[in-house]
Amino acid sequence: MMRSKVLSLVARADSNRMMSTATKFTTVEVNDKTGIATLTMNRPPVNGLNLELLQDLKSSIDEIEGNKSRGLILTSSSSTIFSAGLDILEMYKPNKDRIRAFWTQLQDTWLALYGSSVPTAAAINGHSPAGGCLLATSCEYRVMVPNFTIGLNETQLGIVAPQWFMASFLSVLPQRDAERALNQGRMFTTEEALKVGLIDETANNKEEAIEKCVAFIGTFAKVNPLARSLTKQQFRAADLQQLQNGRKEDLEKFLFFVNQPAVQKGLGIYLEGLKKKAKKQ
């Protein structure tokens, strides 16, 4: 998880061209000309994925699926953080019922985004470690702004990424590159991510990143929506089904792991380090 002083700013749009609905931590804006929805995460300061943000993300994805949008662009209202990943406070000295709800909601949100019937793209306008990278790689296309980093760095925090995290990573990177990066907990700069194929394009700023995401979704304009959706579903079916079939086992594995004394100690040390950094700022 990463810290930022910058508070998020809700994305603005011309009211004559946009229809907007909002939940607590996400905003959905559908452009009435392109029919493309922009889903913006807005939980300052770092879009830490807690239970409530995950619930809002899932609700927003369902809304976009239901309003027949032509595509989904995922981005952040922060100018420096896409998402800092799972909120460590959900896992440190967890409440028994809440931690179960938290992980179950994470499963639901991933299944909804990775398995979305509409074309999906991520406009990565800030750092994207761990769960932030999971969200980005769950989309079909990624455009990233320079001078930020992205990667699944769980091993650096003493955490093991579950198989379905790896599935999103493997849908983007060759297995050898993905395995090495996961084992190292490697974070890639924007330029490095482009070179290895973790992202598809770079953009000078968020607005340009969204424009490039719109252009990607536009490549499906003449493709039959049902045929495209079913093709995507077939490509991703094994990954989705694997989690669906093993949801309970995955939950129990996570609960067992996160409650290990060594893991709790490591999370405590990490949180204490964040507090010290915050005091110095």
Parallel/antiparallel/unpaired status of strands 120-124 and 71-76: parallel
Cβ partners under 8 Å of residue 243, min gap 6: 107, 110, 111, 163, 164, 250
The separation between the first and the last C-alpha atoms of the chain, rounded to the nearest angstrom, is: 17
Catalytic residue among 39, 72, 86, 134: 86
For residue 60, give the nearest of 90, 85, 24, 104 by alpha carbon. Answer: 24
How many Å apart are CA 166 and CA 181, to the nearest integer?
11
As beta bridge partners, residue 72 has 37, 120
For this structure, is 154 an active site residue? yes
For this structure, is 153 an active site residue? yes
Catalytic residue among 85, 115, 131, 132: 131
Cβ partners under 8 Å of residue 36, min gap 6: 30, 69, 70, 71, 72, 73, 214, 217
For this structure, is 86 an active site residue? yes
Catalytic residue among 152, 153, 173, 198: 153
Catalytic residue among 125, 154, 157, 182: 154
What amino acid positions are annotated as catalytic residues? 86, 131, 153-154
